[in-house]
Chain A
């Protein structure tokens, strides 16, 4: 029982970077734009966050810079696809290539360095008084660093934003039928830019968590494909921030399960276990498409640029 609890707790930690990236991409896709540059934005956030963490020793500054870096990546994508109406799939892929090169380049001098103590201590485990003492749930949910808690809060805030505010309503309409939103005097381009940038910032944040807290040191390609899993998780979560919580932590568990199974009676090669997150993603996608309900459908205008004067 003890090991199951600790496994689940570790799953939450492992799932946190996935959560931020997924939430970021949900927001972006809700505005009708498919940004496949998640991996790139995560890497940009990871390297800039780490760099600024080293330079300033200030954890909040590090995270802020990570968000700016991610947003910058998002900004490139937004400019290309919203203003210049470029092909979204290719633009996103290019952003990933750019982000990979960018983080590799800047990270060259950072390889092997570890998170400075000032930053590290900020992200030390901080059990929530009272809540962390609840049997079973306490250690799983409430015995983590502040970043994990921030993840819970962000998901809930985004959920409330999306479903209970007027701006969230406007956003959902843009994703479904931009022409309707436009006729209702919603400023389409403003919303798209704002949400793509916010989405990028969240991805950057997820990346910074990896380099500053999870690993915690700089390695080349520290995200190791998590950005792509996040893109799949958006579909799994049916574009719903609350469901993203479930998906992210589930995959966090899959991420670390190989490590946990080592040394147990279950003798399978590390590398085959490594396949699990990806195989499960495929299985989930097939299952979701098989079920095919109206509730879980993607935003109708996803991937299509909006042009008011289209004749």
Chain B
């Protein structure tokens, strides 16, 4: 008979080993699954690596994918640190993109630098407003934020769809309804072949690390996340902290939306978010809500997705394969947490052989 007891502490080395084992197991199980689809797993994985990092082009594509993921995950991690389950990243991205697109469409002749600056600020504001709404209800009446933020995603999605099919539809395009492309001035420039978002992302990683660990607000968010009673005792203004943290959270997501719309899609559409809002939750969680770790995890996840995209064309595997692989890795890492926190001990019989 076995018994489960809590571990007192675990060395960093052990916890890395356990996580690595989890990922390897995930890859093995996925390999079985790929084989069932009549695919050679080794070739598929090789293909994914190639697709993610194999050439300068694919490396750049991976980074481009990582940018919105990273920024959104940073935003989500602020909310999660406060135990505010912001599932609304997707909607906040879209609304940030929406507000900046407003400026892109209506002021095409504005010079590049002011226009882009306004667009990015608009992105921050758009996402922040979208996050403010659930934050307001939570701080006032304790409304369940998980569902409200989620519902807001759908509202945002329908809103963009409405614009895409209605008032903002590109009159010139035949057939499939879409919005017009941004003019040159509304498109973010590249640095080293990748849109400038990567510089913004790195700056944000540093800024968020400092914010969460070295500032008063970051401290207050951590205290509030631990216990509302303690925050109250410490004199923290709880309502204000929830709102500020959520404005920041949504703002970052909105900024990611702006970058995507401006530098990748060159327009506003429902594809701008592309599920990043949900994936970022996983990245934030895997990154233990810590900015530098989130940076690493974002790149790895982007590689997973980019590699998945590559094998789709190379091997004809359906897009959903990447989703399955993602969830496999996640299941195993979730499960591995158990082995990090607890250990299994054999129960002794009365004659007293102890096995610890």
A105 and B146 contact, CB distance less than 8 A: no
A84 to B330, CA, bound (A): 14
A101 to B328, CA, bound (A): 11
Chain B residues packing against A (C-beta within 8 Å): 3-6, 85, 87, 137, 141-144, 146-148, 150-152, 154-155, 158-159, 161-162, 165-166, 278, 281-282, 285, 318-324, 326-328, 330-331, 334-335, 337-338, 341-342
Contact partners of B4 in chain A: CB under 8 A: 309
B278 and A93 contact, CB distance less than 8 A: yes
B282 and A101 contact, CB distance less than 8 A: no
Other CB < 8 Å A-B pairs besides A228-B150, A279-B155, 4 of them? A94-B331, A278-B158, A285-B144, A309-B6
A311 and B151 contact, CB distance less than 8 A: no
A 94-132 contacts with B by CB, 8 A: 94-95, 97-98, 100-102, 104-105, 108
A86 to B326, CA, bound (A): 17
Contact partners of A102 in chain B: CB under 8 A: 320, 324
* A86 in contact with B327 given A101-B321, A108-B318, A271-B161 (CB within 8 Å): no
> Is the C-beta of A187 less than 8 angstroms from some C-beta in chain B?
no
Chain A residues packing against B (C-beta within 8 Å): 36, 76, 79-80, 83-87, 89-91, 93-95, 97-98, 100-102, 104-105, 108, 225, 228, 231-232, 235, 269, 271-272, 274-275, 278-279, 281-282, 285-286, 288-290, 292, 309-311
B165 to chain A, nearest CB (A): 6
A292 CB contact (under 8 Å) in B141, B158, B159: B141
Contact partners of B3 in chain A: CB under 8 A: 309
A289 CB contact (under 8 Å) in B141, B159, B338: B141
* A84 in contact with B154 given A89-B146, A101-B320, A232-B147 (CB within 8 Å): no
* A271 in contact with B334 given A108-B318, A281-B151 (CB within 8 Å): no
Contact partners of B321 in chain A: CB under 8 A: 101, 105
A289 and B142 contact, CB distance less than 8 A: yes
* Interface of B, helix, strand, loop or mixed by DSSP: helix
B318 and A90 contact, CB distance less than 8 A: no
A91 to B286, CA, bound (A): 12
B278 and A97 contact, CB distance less than 8 A: yes
- B160 — nearest CB in chain A belongs to which residue? A271
A87 to B341, CA, bound (A): 12
B281 and A235 contact, CB distance less than 8 A: no
B331 CB contact (under 8 Å) in A98, A278, A290: A98
A272 and B158 contact, CB distance less than 8 A: yes
Contact partners of B328 in chain A: CB under 8 A: 98
A97 and B141 contact, CB distance less than 8 A: no
A198 to chain B, nearest CB (A): 21
B324 and A101 contact, CB distance less than 8 A: yes
- A271 — nearest CB in chain B belongs to which residue? B162
User: How many pairs, one residue from A and one from B, have CB atoms within 8 Å of each other in the complex?
Assistant: 140
Contact partners of A97 in chain B: CB under 8 A: 278, 282, 323, 326-327, 330
A182 to chain B, nearest CB (A): 15
A293 to B200, CA, bound (A): 46
A98 to chain B, nearest CB (A): 4
A281 and B147 contact, CB distance less than 8 A: yes
B335 CB contact (under 8 Å) in A86, A269, A272, A274: A86
B152 and A282 contact, CB distance less than 8 A: yes
* A282 in contact with B148 given A108-B318, A289-B142 (CB within 8 Å): yes
A290 to B323, CA, bound (A): 38
A84 to B320, CA, bound (A): 27
A275 and B158 contact, CB distance less than 8 A: yes
B324 and A98 contact, CB distance less than 8 A: yes
- B137 — nearest CB in chain A belongs to which residue? A286
- A101 — nearest CB in chain B belongs to which residue? B323
A86 to B285, CA, bound (A): 12
B5 CB contact (under 8 Å) in A84, A272, A309: A309
A104 CB contact (under 8 Å) in B6, B320, B337: B320
Contact partners of A310 in chain B: CB under 8 A: 6
A80 and B334 contact, CB distance less than 8 A: yes
* A76 in contact with B331 given A269-B166, A282-B148, A282-B151 (CB within 8 Å): yes
* A87 in contact with B154 given A80-B335, A285-B144, A289-B142 (CB within 8 Å): no
B334 CB contact (under 8 Å) in A86, A100, A281, A292: A86
Selected A-B contacts with CB under 8 Å, 25 pairs: A76-B331, A89-B146, A90-B334, A93-B278, A97-B327, A98-B328, A101-B320, A104-B320, A104-B323, A105-B324, A231-B147, A269-B162, A271-B159, A271-B165, A272-B158, A278-B151, A279-B151, A285-B148, A286-B143, A289-B137, A289-B144, A309-B3, A309-B4, A309-B5, A311-B6
Contact partners of B147 in chain A: CB under 8 A: 228, 231-232, 235, 281-282, 285
A297 to chain B, nearest CB (A): 11
Contact partners of B165 in chain A: CB under 8 A: 269, 271
A231 to chain B, nearest CB (A): 6
B3 to chain A, nearest CB (A): 8
B139 to chain A, nearest CB (A): 11
B152 and A100 contact, CB distance less than 8 A: no
A286 and B337 contact, CB distance less than 8 A: no
Contact partners of A94 in chain B: CB under 8 A: 282, 327, 330-331, 334
- B87 — nearest CB in chain A belongs to which residue? A93
Contact partners of B155 in chain A: CB under 8 A: 275, 278-279, 282
Contact partners of B5 in chain A: CB under 8 A: 309
B151 and A90 contact, CB distance less than 8 A: no
B285 and A272 contact, CB distance less than 8 A: no
A90 to B288, CA, bound (A): 12
